[in-house]
A and B are shown apart, each in its own frame.
Chain A
Amino acid sequence: MTFLVEAYAFFYQLADSFAFLVLCGLGLAIIFGMMGVINLAHGEFIMCGAYVTVLSARAGLPLPFAMLCGTFAAGLVGLILEFLIIRRLYHRLFDSIVATWALSLIATQGMLIVAGPSIEGLKTPFGSFELGEYSFSVYRALLPLIALLLLGALYWLFVHTRFGVYSRATIQDANMARALGANTGRIYSQTFTLGAALAGLTGALYAPTITAVPTMGQAFIVQSFVTVVVSGADVMLGLAPSAAVLAFIQSLLTKSYGQLIGQIGLLLTVIIVVRVLPKGISGWVLQRNGGR
């Protein structure tokens, strides 16, 4: 019995890390993985989603609606920023770094001035359950399921809907897509907005579990980038395996040697994976199957 409990405890930890990495990487996978825009403001989209969620919930909205508000808010901000700034930077990789870093600076400082150094947070919903000598948060146990659901929904969106197909076509070869009649400008805008909204959703989902401060984006950004990079350009194919591999390594190391080794191990894994699989996991899979 104890063995089962220990096994579940490890599995819980693994799933928890997996959820965190997937959710961190989702929005960025669309924006960076698919569109090639290095979005250093990704953490700030997450922050936006989290803040709006907390403020709406405090204003009285039930939590699920507050989370939707957070997601929409981040999406809206993404839409506006895409129109004003990002659309000029699509093929300028280095410039997108500077521009998004500038945005991140403005967002963090602006939030500090407007909302103050921190706001009162939310309580994690759903309570806890016990198993053996451990007790776990129900909400956190659900997060991996939500992450998988989102991945499934994204797969459906990108493969089985018109928007998704057009989007993938545009990103793969914009000129050809335009020649075939796609409104590429609008598709870029919609895809970016989707990426921003997903980042907002991440912020909304994690808002009841962490402290809401203007610099909270920093807690997500490194994990986001490493997950997306290891995943490679094809989000559908690579994100889940990437998160799974990284989560496994990090959980194992943290359990055996502590958080420091877990953190360093994660970063070293990324270095090795990038070296061994330069196009990420999805790139490697596609290469093996003869794709581009």
Chain B
Amino acid sequence: MPRWLALLDGPQTLGRGPAFWFVFALLVVATGLLPAVVDAFAITNLTYFLVWVFMALGLSIIWGYAGILSFGQTAFFGLAGYTYGVISINLGDAGLWTWFALLMSLLLPAVVAAFVGYFMFYGGVRDVFVGIVTLSITLVFETFMAQTAGPEWTIGSARLNGFNGMSNMPPLTFPWGETPIVFDGPSLFWLVLALVVVVYLGLRIVVNSRFGNVLVAIRENPDRAEMLGYNVRLYQLFVFVIGSVLAAMSGVLYTLWGAYITPSSMGLTAAALPIIWVAAGGRKDITATLLATVFLTWLSQQLAVKGNQYALIWMGFILLVVVLFAPEGLFVTVWNRLRDRRRLRRVATARKTVSLPSA
């Protein structure tokens, strides 16, 4: 197996080897070819599901791999969305300005996350208190943004518009001769898909590297990791920033998808949702998280489309069942069962070919 491929595999992620990657490549190509086969709505809907993947992956890294409970992901989600809105409305969509806006909407949350992370981790805030602090920050942000309805709340020519939300920000455009490419519909879908693939592969490399191993060590026992000489707080800060940038990516892509961002994207319910996807799928594994996010967002939409009143109740029951009977996460548990069964079969075959002396 090629060396660089080996970087993608490791103890911290499920799935390895040529078979797994072949299936992965096949899936990516098949998904990429979808716009030729299905209608425009299916593509835009699938784009919508994929948009949430980054948020979930970020939470998986922070929570599943590093053991830090953060309720603040939606704050960075919102911050990124608003940053994109403000910058792109002010600077317009000529040339590469929308890409600049995109970059800034990832950079600003990273800076804020660095501050918040420093404040928390270097201030001795641990465990569940991180959750409380991040939740409080999210709620402060939401409460503040919700009341920015008045005309005085304008940055340049972009009105924050409070609870009603900011809309009509321009989509990503790339100058291409006469008519610039507008990233909408299939082109946005391919962009999001490409980002999902890049981020997923990147995270696999990060998580299976020495950095990832240290993260898991910190998760399992922070004091021991500290005593072994690792700068626990720096690692925590780092992973918090990475997770927050991922949440920011979801935020800006959501804003691009719907041309709209509102403070209720940062509310209590919105903050709890990514935690549900990650917990149900398997927070300790990014592949499980990715699959679970797409599946659950699709499922909850289907339930809403068909089930009417009972949709939310079904969602609740599914979650309860997963937590009680498959606490590692649904996808992880299923994967482990299959893997164990395969192993047992291999052992049984090996036993048959090597004749053991009878006891």
Residue positions of A touching B, CB distance < 8 A: 38, 40, 85, 88-89, 92-95, 97-99, 101-106, 108-110, 112-113, 218, 221-222, 225-226, 229, 260, 263-264, 267-268, 270-271, 274-275, 278
Contact = CB atoms under 8 A, between A and B. Distances in A.
Nearest to B273: A101
A274 B320 contact: no
A103 B272 CA distance: 13
Interface in B280-334: 280, 283, 309-310, 312-313, 315-317, 319-320, 322-324, 327
Contact of B312 (A99, A105, A225): A105
Contact of B119 (A109, A275, A278): A275
A40 B125 contact: no
Contacts, number: 114
B324 A99 contact: yes
B14 interface: no
Interface stretch (B91-99, B104-112, B130-138): B130-138
B140 A278 contact: no
A229 B69 CA distance: 15
Given A95-B323, A268-B140, A106 B133 contact: no
B279 interface: yes
B323 A225 contact: no
Contacts of A225: 132, 135
A222 B129 contact: no
B132 A260 contact: no
Interface of B: 63, 69, 119-120, 123-129, 131-133, 135-137, 139-140, 143-144, 147, 268, 272, 275-276, 279-280, 283, 309-310, 312-313, 315-317, 319-320, 322-324, 327
Query: Which 7 pairs from chain A and chain B are nearest by CB?
Result: A102-B319, A106-B316, A105-B316, A98-B279, A109-B312, A102-B316, A267-B136
Contacts of B127: 93
Contacts of A112: 309
B132 A40 contact: no
Contacts of A38: 128, 131
Contacts of A271: 133, 136-137, 140
Given A95-B323, A108-B312, 20 more contacts: A38-B128, A88-B324, A93-B128, A101-B276, A102-B317, A105-B313, A105-B315, A105-B319, A106-B312, A106-B313, A109-B310, A110-B313, A112-B309, A218-B268, A263-B143, A267-B136, A275-B120, A275-B124, A275-B125, A278-B125
A191 B300 CA distance: 35
Contacts of A98: 275-276, 279-280, 319, 322-323
Nearest to B132: A229
A255 B29 CA distance: 61
A270 B312 contact: no
A92 B283 CA distance: 13
A22 B279 CA distance: 31
A177 to B, nearest CB: 23
A264 B313 CA distance: 33
B132 A226 contact: yes
Contacts of B310: 109, 113
Contacts of A229: 128-129, 132
Contacts of A88: 324
Contacts of A40: 272
A94 B310 CA distance: 26
A270 B132 contact: yes
Nearest to A222: B139
Contacts of B136: 226, 267-268, 270-271
Contacts of B312: 105-106, 108-109
A113 B69 contact: no
Contacts of A103: 316, 320
A106 B147 contact: no
A62 B127 CA distance: 45
19 contacts: A38-B128, A95-B279, A97-B69, A97-B275, A98-B319, A102-B315, A102-B316, A102-B317, A102-B320, A103-B320, A105-B312, A105-B313, A109-B309, A110-B313, A113-B313, A226-B132, A271-B137, A274-B133, A275-B120
Contacts of A104: 316
Contact of A260 (B143, B276, B323): B143
Nearest to A228: B132
Counting chain B CB atoms within 10 Å of each CB, the highest count among A102, A104, A106, A221 belongs to A102
Nearest to B63: A94
B311 to A, nearest CB: 8
B162 to A, nearest CB: 12
A102 B139 contact: no
Contact of B140 (A89, A105, A264): A264
A226 B63 CA distance: 21
Counting chain A CB atoms within 10 Å of each CB, the highest count among B147, B276, B323 belongs to B323
A99 B317 contact: no
A260 to B, nearest CB: 6
A240 B276 CA distance: 33
